[in-house]
Amino acid sequence: MAAAAHSLTTTTTRAPLLLRLLSARRRPAVAARTPPRRFRCCCCSTSSAPAQPHRPGPGGAGRRLRGELHSRAMSNSTNSTTILAEAVVAGSGGDVELLPFVNDKHGGVIVEMTNPMDPQLFSASLKASLSKWREQGIRGVWIKLPISLANLIQYAVEEGFWYHHAEETYLMLAYWLPATPHTLPVNATHRVGVGAFVMNDKREVLAVQEKSGVLRGLGVWKFPTGVVEPGEDINIGAVREVKEETGIDAEFVEVLAFRQSHKAYFDKSDLFFVCILRPLSFDITKQESEIEAAQWMPVEEFAAQPFVQKHELVKYILEVGLAKVDKDYAGFSPVLIKSAFTDKKSFFYMNRRDLDKASESSNKKQND
């Protein structure tokens, strides 16, 4: 069979045979089956005990262990999968259709389900597909299930698939066909946040008090902060957050510094970029849903807050911000670059000032 995508359409003449074969298998009840731990995730588990996230150890030990566990679980289902798949294909004249798929760039396949399908027919097609892909030397298998097809998750998990990641509208499941530790990439590990240092000509910084969070009701003034949206660049996100929280139009100047922390939101790591922006307007309109108050605040008054004195991150933000304004501190400015592999463009953040100085010095030495 060619390695091209096939239709999900199943004729009514095939269904009785598939159902008889599936019934003969006598699938055990799902409630009585204890799935391997790797099939659970913090966002989908219904257990009263919280699921523990996968934490790879040094040298990829966590990945090797997960691969070994997957290999053992896979060996338990391989024989029954192959036997039933071969029986379905042989008994139906070899006309059981594989699930629709596309090849990825790493020797694997991606199945993106879009149309409703009878769960038992899906199970039979999945078994036949896995059998065929194993013969072809396919390694990784990805199945993307929209939330409307959540009734098919059980059948994929029973064949050895595990949860890879989930978004608002879909669940991505993964499977490794070779009897070796898998080399599939892990789910996204970081969330990206921004903080904005904005100062006017009166040496007043833009400060806000939040309506929610750990600082709610404490009277603490802080810099505008927020989370970068999916597909949004850091410089664009910083400008947007300032506008949303305070109504101030601002121009992005540089990334001054960044902080990495771990086990933050849903146990993900966090990258927080400190940015300096130049104000283009000065009349404040606070965001009613999130901001309790907003003002231009004398920098000395802001720095004198007990919270700022105790919070090292805020102290450093203030320090690098003032260093940029007063002491010729150089941050990282965005440069739009092109990729050699795609038509997409992206921002490369670098210390352009010192790079230009180094280039000028190098050219001068060559000319001397």
Q: What residues are annotated to the active site?
A: 244
- Tell me the C-alpha distance between 247 and 238, whole Å: 13
What amino acid is encoded at 129 in this protein?
S
Per-residue HEC secondary structure of 271-329 comes to EEEEEEEEECCCCCCCCCCCEEEEEEEEHHHHHCCHHHHHCHHHHHHHHHHHHHHHCCC
Residue 208 is inside which H or E element, if any? strand 204-210
Q: Is residue 274 within 8 Å of 266, Cβ to Cβ?
A: no
- Tell me the C-alpha distance between 145 and 277, whole Å: 42
* Residues in CB range of 205: below 8 A, 6 or more apart: 197, 198, 199, 223, 296, 297, 299, 302, 321
Per DSSP, what are the bridge partners of residue 142?
A: 110, 174
